[in-house]
Structure 1
């Protein structure tokens, strides 16, 4: 079973359950709990499976810009974490409307043997409480490599995955 299938199965098994993430500080982030590095550093999984989620040992605080691409569309998200939960505001081109769109969603932090997990839920139109009809919540996997570098992937519930560029917002 490849890394994409493993990640996909994990997210599907958890369904709409919440994930938690631990404190991360590598290149602006740090981890206060042990995490597993990916089995192959060169591979970029398009989906991943997490077997078991647990509550994180440490909260996560900070603001980051996350940039990723799904089906050729660039998504730019601002992640704000305040302990074990947070929010993202994501800007992207919506192919359904032919216009740029903004979506807010709530994020929950979890821990797994594969790394720290952020699970998104309740995507709404930016600045409103109106549920977005087509936006699939984002899920992020954070892994710290032995050299301290950070690897971040996203996979949604439709098994669409991407590597993520991460930038600390000060």
Structure 2
């Protein structure tokens, strides 16, 4: 196989243009392709390195090499799976956590995102009803008193409005 887009010969190649002309002349007129065959040794190495550089940046190429899959490691680090000991901690498979990393890490979480994750995981249609209100009774120990010793009133964190 010969790659014609990348190599030592041509107008944009590293070798001088007169060598390209010499090689093409020898191949056309003398049917001598020994210099091209010799250069193909280096082409092969350059194309191999080019492919490796390309493959390192492509997550789909790394799927068939799970031991070297850095993309999965990077996505796992985003959802708390940066080392092998952190995997398989709960019933949700790690693959789903990595698949939904964009939804899980989004600052704005919404019902549509939750619905799509649950539908995809269970494979059934899901409907979410938002803003269903319900009153909760709080025990007296959970009530905040203003001016109490050591208590800091911060609405939504340590203080609850209502009785």
**By the TM > 0.5 criterion, same fold?**
no
* Larger helix fraction of residues: 2
What is the TM-score normalised by the length of structure 1? Answer: 0.18
Q: Which protein has the larger Cα radius of gyration, Structure 1 or Structure 2? A: 2
Bigger relative CO (Cα 8 Å, ≥ 6 apart):
1
TM-score, length of structure 2 as denominator length = 0.18
